[in-house]
Amino acid sequence: MIELIATLAVLTLIKSTPIIYAALGGVISERSGVINIGLEGMMAAGAFTAVIVSFATQTPVLGLLAGVAAGACFGYLLAVAATRFKVDQIVAGTGINLICAGGAAYGLVILFNQPGASPQVPSLGGAYWSLVIAAFVLAGALQWLLFHTRWGLRTRATGENPSAVVSAGLDPLVLRTYAVVISGALAGLGGAFLSIGELNLYSDGMTAGRGFIALAAVIFGRWNPIGATAACVVFGFFEALQFVLQGQIAWLPANAMQALPYIAALIALAGVTGRVRAPAADGVPF
């Protein structure tokens, strides 16, 4: 029993990590006033690029960095669309999700000549535990950065009242661009953790809605880094529980159990009725 609880605890930490990175990205982005629906795609881009670079260089750390860079690139794409062209952020983000998922599937065939999944590549191995710890450290750091530094105040102001930021002599669009690029980079890191941390390959659909679960965590965590992280741990717990129970209890409906984390996210979304408030200018172009 104790062994089971220990397994569950360890798995919970591992399963929460990629969602935490994406959710922290989501918090920064939404605090600056841009809803990043593209987190899911940016995770896929990070996961895929990490595998490609790890394969080409045989150095997983470079793969990790490349994954972060890939996420940041798509973050920049969304940032430009949201700031310069003032597009509908939701629609643009959905486009990014399809571009990344489709692009990775296309890339698998072009580069490896095999659809569905990449060959196995060098993974981070035991080093991925440092990324698990880093996720929680980052959550704390971000909480401090957002609420106790000048950058944090400015970013939050941009998400609440961009006109006031202009009055202070700053450019909200620049602040939003920074925020969304960081958001993409973090989602890319989460994706790279999935592909070359937890596993050692990319397979189609491997992000499995985690970008959206992260968005649910952002809301459930009331747009606070630590709150969102706590929500991610809850969702990670259900993912881990599903794994552990499947191994332990044969008669459980295995496929239906896989829906557990999604159902948890749905309940969390509905459970915060009227008690949360998004940044006032969240999703509103300036």
Residue span 86-125 as binding mask against other proteins, x where in contact by CB under 8 A, dash where not: xxxxxxx-xxxxxxxxxx-xx--xx----x----------
Contacts of residue 138, Cβ cutoff 8 Å, sequence gap at least 6? 20, 21, 24, 225
Nearer to other proteins, 111 or 226 (CB): 111
Does position 251 interact with other proteins (CB under 8 A)? The reply is no
Q: Which stretch binds other proteins (CB under 8 A): 17-25, 155-163, 175-183, 208-216?
A: 208-216
- Secondary-structure breakdown of the chain: helix, strand, coil percentages, each rounded to the nearest 5: 75, 0, 25
Q: Which two tokens stand for residue 92?
A: 């643009």
Nearer to other proteins, 85 or 148 (CB): 85
Q: Check residue 43 for interaction with other proteins (CB under 8 A).
A: no
- Site residue total, other proteins (CB under 8 A): 61
Crossing angle (nearest 10°) for helices 60-83 and 172-192? 150
Beta bridge partners of 117: 203
Structure tokens at 23: 């959710």
Cβ atoms of 214 and 26 closer than 8 Å = yes
CB under 8 Å to 186, separation ≥6 — which residues?
Answer: 21, 22, 24, 25, 28, 71
Please report how close the Cβ of residue 275 comes to other proteins at its closest, in angstroms: 8
Q: Under the criterion CB under 8 A, does residue 272 sit at the interface with other proteins?
A: yes
**Residue 203's beta-bridge partner residues?**
117
Residue 248 has a CB neighbour count (10 Å cut-off) of 10
Q: Does 282 bind other proteins (CB under 8 A)?
A: yes
Choose, by CB under 8 A, the member of 160, 174, 198, 209 that binds other proteins. Answer: 209
Residue (128 or 212) nearer to other proteins, CB: 212
- List of residues contacting other proteins (CB under 8 A): 30, 35, 37, 41, 77, 81, 85-92, 94-103, 105-106, 109-110, 115, 208-209, 212-213, 215-216, 219, 253-259, 262-263, 265-266, 269-274, 276-278, 280, 282-285
